[in-house]
Amino acid sequence: MEGSRPLARKRDNRKSRTAPRSNSAPPTALDRARDELFSAIRQCGVLSAERDDQLEWMDETLGFMKERHPELGAPELSQLREAGLRFCQPVIPHGREHTALAHEDATAA
């Protein structure tokens, strides 16, 4: 590397930056209930259950959530149910199907 200059390091400007301000509102009852529902879905193994079992579990859990969060009305509970059921169904199924029909198809390229 004759004649070339050594690489200059960028100056660390982090000290002069101010921390971002949090102007967000505190979480609503729906936000707390949604987070609680998603946590329960992950902890209870509902993701690996059959669809009928997921529906049954969701009905029972939303009954519990209704008691736990009485401020939630029917529209919010409906939103929770829809969000929870979507959370249980990943866009790409995990390990249920193979895309290559045979090993030769997978390595043909």
Indicate whether 22 belongs to any domain: no
Indicate whether 62 belongs to any domain: yes
Whole-angstrom distance, CA of residue 104 vs CA of residue 25 = 55
Question: What is the per-residue pLDDT for 34?
Answer: 95
Half-sphere exposure (CA, 13 Å, Cβ side) for 104? 0
Write out pLDDT tens, residues 10-56. 555 555 555 555 678 899 999 999 999 999 999 988 888 899 999 99
Percent of the chain with pLDDT over 90: 50
Range of the domain at 44: 28-89
Whole-angstrom distance, CA of residue 81 vs CA of residue 43 = 17
Question: What is the per-residue pLDDT for 89?
Answer: 85
Indicate whether 18 belongs to any domain: no
Indicate whether 48 belongs to any domain: yes
Global pTM value: 0.61
End-to-end distance of the chain based on CA atoms, in angstroms?
A: 41
Indicate whether 101 belongs to any domain: no
Indicate whether 84 belongs to any domain: yes
Indicate whether 73 belongs to any domain: yes
Looking at the structure of the chain, the number of domains it has is: 1
Question: What is the per-residue pLDDT for 25?
Answer: 87
When the pLDDT of each residue in the chain is averaged and rounded to a whole number, the result is 79
Question: What is the per-residue pLDDT for 91?
Answer: 72
